[in-house]
Amino acid sequence: QKEVEQDPGPLSVPEGAIVSLNCTYSNSAFQYFMWYRQYSRKGPELLMYTYSSGNKEDGRFTAQVDKSSKYISLFIRDSQPSDSATYLCAMHRAGNQFYFGTGTSLTVIP
């Protein structure tokens, strides 16, 4: 079983839609959860960093963690064409061992 599972998509939505991106994981020891955005031919850019269960909001982005279900989500409100990218989830326990999903490719159509 993979440590982190993420649907690769591709996901295509119209401009202004609400986007939901999700990951599941198997290791209950993970405590820190991240979402990265990666544009084509660029390095991943950190979007959200959360600790344990709960919600965190930053502008149009909301990260949600449900540790009981081992499930994390990223919601994008009022999606824009500039949101078109690959979104990677990642997580770690205390320490330097990080685990990444395969990434979900998102296209927002004007």
Partner 1 sequence: ETGVTQTPRHLVMGMTNKKSLKCEQHLGHNAMYWYKQSAKKPLELMFVYNFKEQTENNSVPSRFSPECPNSSHLFLHLHTLQPEDSALYLCASSQGSLSVGGRNEQFFGPGTRLTVL
Applying CB under 8 A, which residues contact partner 1? 2, 4, 8, 31-32, 34, 36, 41-46, 49, 51, 88, 90, 92, 94-103
Query: Judged by CB, which is closer to partner 1: 41, or 82?
Result: 41
Taking the complex as a whole, the smallest distance from the CB of residue 1 to partner 1 amounts, in Å, to: 14
Query: Judged by CB, which is closer to partner 1: 36, or 79?
Result: 36
Query: Judged by CB, which is closer to partner 1: 17, or 22?
Result: 22
Taking the complex as a whole, the smallest distance from the CB of residue 18 to partner 1 amounts, in Å, to: 25
Q: Positive or negative CA dihedral for 4, 72, 87, 55?
A: negative
d(CA 13, CA 78): 11
